[in-house]
């Protein structure tokens, strides 16, 4: 049996392990953490359950496929509950837009908010569907290891004007500035600045429309745990608290891994789900890095960092939506400060998760388990004088976040807090081992997408394959699940080397 090692039990790694196992490989998964799910970990404190990371489930069929590989049903393992609205977007002037519903409801909401944009929005809906057909259906799970593949799809990408940013694309159809923000913020969910992310990512809007936005009952961590159970039931060997220090190499071919505990494990192929830039910088021995050198990785544009404040609250806020986006006054300027100037601004925008709206089991009766996610600069040190000292910035940002929540959607919040803690980009660097502590690996710009992104088959080492946020097609749960599908194109060559 062909032996495969997967480094990392994030959603991309677990999906890869399941697909390999279904194809008859002998699979072992190693992760440095004590739990599966990677960025989708879970914290349990004083009766409150906090999903650490992803909360928005789109493209449920990608999860269903993994259970179907073994003749099983995802819905029996974990239930997905559709949400309406998908998100509530609250603007700095207090107005709200409830985003989600059927096409007719969406059009009506746009008409009520900005009548002049109704016809433009209907055209936008048709356009994002055609982008989805190319960007997701044709290219999402296609292998992009050769320039010829890129050249073949270039005409379609140019016809769809993938050189435009998501914001500029949306602005062609929508005039109202608030609505432009509603229909362009989605790249932030995959680590991109809407002003620099290729408009291919407008396909996220169609992904949301096609199958809605759902919540995994029990939390996303329950979904990760269910995938881990499926893996183990099917004979995948899962090793937690077991980091990989290096990929071992002979004659330019990956032969296995050296673990943090000095143990060596051999395999016929290695699949890395760890953060792609970190795989090359930390796990591939320097002498084999011909393409992915430090200099090349330094030139890449990294996604933003994240500050996440978790709150267990002895009170409920029944008017909250499950997902709320609180937008500050500034949009483009704020994003430029975070992505380009490495500035922690006074003016914050955030995403608020209130899962007890949908699943009361996640907090004690009458309580809320909330998290507020604030995009912040990464730890990438382009100018040492601008480095953020998180021991100082953390408490300040937590206080500002609480004040903003209290002034907007959670009145008197601070009087009722039971549990409060936060993570900064240092957590992502130290626990999840991401380069510069990014939340989403590299940005989804045009020149870092498809063939320009980390290839799913390594150019530097034979027998090394990559899945996960930094690889094609990109970050977010649908993206990393698709990266594991891409891997299937290489199963035959993996077997041939065994």
Ligand X SMILES: Cc1cc2nc3c(=O)[nH]c(=O)nc-3n(C[C@H](O)[C@H](O)[C@H](O)COP(=O)(O)OP(=O)(O)OC[C@H]3O[C@@H](n4cnc5c(N)ncnc54)[C@H](O)[C@@H]3O)c2cc1C
Out of 2, 5, 6, 8, point to the residue binding ligand X (CB under 6 A).
Answer: 8
Among 131, 477, 486, 494, binds ligand X (CB under 6 A): 477
- Under 8 Å between Cβ of 353 and 371: yes
Closest CA to 454 of 283, 338, 242, 220: 283
Of the listed pieces 71-79, 135-143, 413-421, 476-484, which binds ligand X according to CB under 6 A? 476-484
Task: Find the shortest distance in angstroms from Cβ 118 to ligand X.
Answer: 29
Name residue, tokens 């997967």.
6
Q: Which of residues 216-255 bind ligand X (CB under 6 A)?
A: 243-244
Measure the CA–CA gap between 86 and 56, rounded to whole angstroms.
Answer: 9
Residue placing its CB nearer to ligand X in the complex, 219 or 312: 219
Using CA atoms, how far apart are residues 346 and 218, in angstroms rounded to an integer? 35
- Between strands 368-376 and 305-313, the pairing is antiparallel
Q: Does 273 bind ligand X (CB under 6 A)?
A: yes
Interface mask toward ligand X for 36-55; x: CB under 6 A: --xxx------------xxx
Overall residue count recorded for the chain in this entry: 498
The dihedral formed by the CA atoms of 229, 233, 239 and 244, expressed in degrees to the nearest 10: -90
Closest CB to ligand X among residues 213, 419: 213
Find the shortest distance in angstroms from Cβ 35 to ligand X.
8
When asked if residue 274 is in the footprint of ligand X (CB under 6 A), the reply is yes
Helices (H), 374-486: 390-408, 425-430, 477-486
Interface residue with ligand X among 476, 482, 485, 494 (CB under 6 A) is 476
Where is 127: in which H helix or E strand? helix 118-132
| Cis preceding linkage at 317, omega within 30 | no
Where does residue 85 fall: left (phi above 0), alpha (psi -120 to 50 degrees), or beta otherwise?
beta
Backbone angles phi, psi at 348, to 5 degrees: -110, 150
List binders of ligand X among 332-391 (CB under 6 A).
Answer: 373
**Cα dihedral: 52, 53, 57, 61 (round 10):** -100
Residue of 5, 297, 327, 432 interacting with ligand X (CB under 6 A)? 432
Biggest alpha carbon distance in the chain? 65
CB of 283 to ligand X, least distance (A): 6
Cβ closest to ligand X, residue 110 vs residue 481: 481
Stretch that binds ligand X, among 95-103, 194-202, 227-235, 474-482 (CB under 6 A): 474-482
352 CA to centre of own chain: 16
Min CB(481)–ligand X separation in Å: 8
Q: Which of 56, 125, 170, 204 binds ligand X (CB under 6 A)?
A: 56
Instruction: Verify binding: residue 440, ligand X, rule CB under 6 A.
Output: yes
How big is the CA angle at 290 (ends 284 and 293), to the nearest 5 degrees?
Answer: 70
| Cis peptide bond prior to 85, omega within 30° of 0 | yes
* Options 284-292, 396-404, 470-478, 490-498: segment touching ligand X (CB under 6 A): 470-478
User: Which of 5, 17, 20, 30 is close enough to bind ligand X by CB under 6 A?
Assistant: 30
Residue showing tokens 């509530």: 88
Size of the site for ligand X (CB under 6 A): 37
Q: Which of 134, 174, 221, 306 contacts ligand X by CB under 6 A?
A: 306
Give the nearest distance from C-beta 188 to ligand X in angstroms: 10
Cα 306 to chain centroid distance, Å, stands at 12
Q: Does 13 bind ligand X (CB under 6 A)?
A: yes
Smallest gap from Cβ 220 to ligand X, in A, equals 8
Shortest CB 247 distance to ligand X, Å? 9
Contact 438, 275 (CB under 8 A): yes
How wide is the angle at C-alpha 400 spanned by C-alphas 399 and 406, nearest 5°?
Answer: 90
Query: Among 12, 187, 219, 437, which residue interacts with ligand X (rule: CB under 6 A)?
Result: 12
Footprint of ligand X on 124-153 (CB under 6 A): none
Q: Which residues bind ligand X (CB under 6 A)?
A: 7-13, 30-33, 38-40, 53-56, 189, 243-244, 273-274, 283, 306, 308, 373, 432-433, 439-440, 468-469, 475-477, 480
């Amino acid at each position: 049996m062909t032996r495969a090692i997967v480094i990392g039990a994030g959603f991309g790694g677990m999906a890869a392990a399941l697909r390999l196992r279904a194809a008859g490989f002998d699979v072992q998964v190693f992760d440095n953490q004590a739990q599966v799910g990677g960025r989708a970990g879970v914290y349990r404190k004083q009766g409150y359950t906090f999903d650490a990371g992803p909360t928005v489930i789109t493209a449920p069929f990608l999860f269903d496929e993994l259970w179907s590989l073994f003749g099983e049903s995802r819905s029996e393992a974990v239930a997905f509950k559709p949400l309406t609205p998908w998100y509530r977007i609250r603007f700095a002037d207090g107005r709200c837009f409830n985003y989600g519903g059927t096409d007719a409801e969406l059009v009506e909401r746009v008409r009520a908010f900005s009548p002049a944009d109704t016809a433009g929005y209907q055209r936008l809906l048709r356009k994002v569907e055609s982008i989805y057909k190319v960007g997701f259906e044709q290219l999402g799970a296609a292998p992009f290891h050769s320039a010829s593949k890129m050249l073949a799809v270039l005409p379609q990408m140019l016809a769809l004007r993938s050189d435009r940013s998501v914001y500029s694309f949306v602005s062609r159809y929508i005039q109202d500035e608030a609505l432009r923000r509603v229909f362009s913020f989605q790249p932030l969910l995959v680590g991109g600045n809407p002003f620099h992310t290729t408009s291919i990512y407008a396909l996220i809007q169609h992904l949301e429309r096609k199958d809605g936005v759902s919540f995994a009952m029990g939390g996303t961590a329950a979904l990760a745990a269910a995938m881990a159970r499926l893996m183990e039931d099917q004979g995948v060997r899962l090793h937690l608290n077991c980091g990989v220090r290096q990929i071992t190499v002979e004659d330019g071919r990956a032969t296995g891994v050296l673990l943090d505990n000095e143990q060596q494990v051999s395999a016929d192929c290695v699949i890395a789900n760890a953060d792609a830039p970190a795989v090359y910088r930390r796990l591939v021995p320097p002498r084999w890095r011909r393409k992915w050198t430090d200099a090349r990785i330094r030139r890449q544009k990294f996604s933003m960092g994240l500050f996440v404040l978790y709150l267990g609250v002895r009170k409920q806020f029944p008017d909250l939506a499950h997902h709320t986006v609180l937008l500050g006054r500034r949009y483009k300027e704020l994003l430029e400060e975070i992505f380009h100037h490495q500035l922690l601004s006074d003016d914050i925008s955030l995403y608020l998760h209130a899962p007890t709206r949908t699943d009361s089991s996640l907090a004690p009766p009458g309580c809320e388990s909330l998290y507020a996610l604030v995009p912040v600069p990464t730890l990438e040190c382009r100018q040492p004088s601008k480095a953020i000292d998180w021991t100082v910035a953390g408490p300040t940002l937590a206080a500002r976040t609480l004040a903003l929540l209290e002034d907007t959607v959670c009145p008197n919040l601070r009087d009722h807090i039971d549990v409060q803690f936060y993570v900064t980009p240092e957590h992502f660097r130290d626990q999840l081992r991401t380069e510069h502590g990014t939340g989403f690996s590299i940005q989804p710009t045009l020149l870092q997408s498809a063939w320009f992104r980390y290839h799913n088959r390594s150019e530097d080492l034979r027998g090394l394959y990559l899945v996960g946020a930094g690889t094609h097609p990109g970050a977010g749960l649908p993206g990393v699940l698709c990266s594991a599908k891409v891997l299937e194109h290489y199963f035959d060559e993996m077997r041939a080397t065994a």
